[in-house]
Structure formats: C-alpha cells, structure tokens
Amino acid sequence: MERRLTVPGRFDRLETIAKFVEQAGQAAGLDEVAICRCQLAVDEAVTNIIEHGYGGEGRGDIDLSCLGEPEQGQLTITISDQAKPFNPASIPEPTLNVPLEDMQIGGLGLYFMRQVMDAVEFKHTADGNQLVLVKRRETGAAAETLEE
C-alpha cells in the first residue's frame, strides 16, 4: 500500500512526517527499531532539504511517498523536492576516529542515513531531487539480537 504526504519545507512539519513514517512502517510490518531508523533517516534528509536545498524554511514543498510491502517486510520511502541539485559524491566520508573538537562539520547525516537504512539512492531529474530509502524487516539471528 502506498501512502503520500506533501508538506511545506518547515521544521514544524517534522513531527507530522515522523508520524507518517511510523504509520507506514507499521503497515509494512517493521518493528519499532526499524521504524525509528526510518524516522531518523527521513528527519535528517528533510532537515538537509530545508537547510541546504531550499536555503531556509518555507521556500518549497517536500513530497513523501511510502510504499509498504508487508509480505516482504519492506518499506520504501521516496522523498522529493524541487531544491537545488544535490550530489552525494560531493560530501566526503566523515573521519570518525578523531576527538570531537577536531571533527569536520557536515557529512554525518548522510553517513547516518547509510548506516541505518538498507538502501539509500539519490537521483536528480528535470523535476528535482529524489531520495529513495529502503528498510527491510530484520529476520533470524539479527532480529533476535535486537530484541534482547
């Protein structure tokens, strides 16, 4: 089942988006941990769209689509915007083994998205940017470890 939501690019919409992702994750058969990971990735992506893509609040809309596949235990989240093009290759991998005060600013959000999601894909088309995030339900030993 596919669900859609369009919101103005404003930080006060993050809670609405989180609830939307939660409902879609539940419908897709994801557990609470997987849903929280989806919410983290989407929150980071939307925040970056508002801050860096649009250059501030209220300068464009953000479209979200969630396709839940409960039979496969998978949720595909597509986030679309009409902000300036984003090239993920332009963001260097963060250096994590340095003292906090020496860490570079930026790049951690993309790193976190890639860590918590099973797939992260960026596209730029004539219609704007599109980010596709995929989360699959944990099975077997991995799921048992999370529950303990």
- Residue 33 CB neighbour total at 10 angstroms: 13
E-strand stretches of 85-147? 119-125, 128-136
> pTM for this one?
0.86
Q: How far apart are the C-alpha atoms of 111 and 80, rounded to whole Å?
A: 20
Instruction: Please count the CA atoms within 13 angstroms of the CA of 87 that sit on its side-chain side.
Output: 3
Please state, in angstroms and rounded to a whole number, the distance separating the CA atoms of residues 68 and 111: 24
Rounded Cα distance between 131 and 45, Å, is: 8
Any idea where the domains of the chain sit in the sequence? 2-147
Per-residue CA distances from 139 to 34, 44, 65, 79, 124 (Å): 12, 26, 25, 26, 33
Identify the CATH assignment for 2-147 out of 3.40.50.720, 1.10.3720.10, 3.30.565.10, 1.25.40.10: 3.30.565.10
Residue written as token pair 């992506």: 45
Question: For residue 89, what pLDDT is reported?
Answer: 77
Give residue-wise pLDDT tens across range 108-134.
Answer: 788 889 999 999 999 998 889 999 999
Is the confidence at residue 145, as pLDDT, over 50? no
Strand partners, 125: 128
Task: Give the pLDDT confidence of 77-114 residue by residue, as tens digits.
Answer: 999 999 998 888 777 676 677 776 766 666 678 888 99
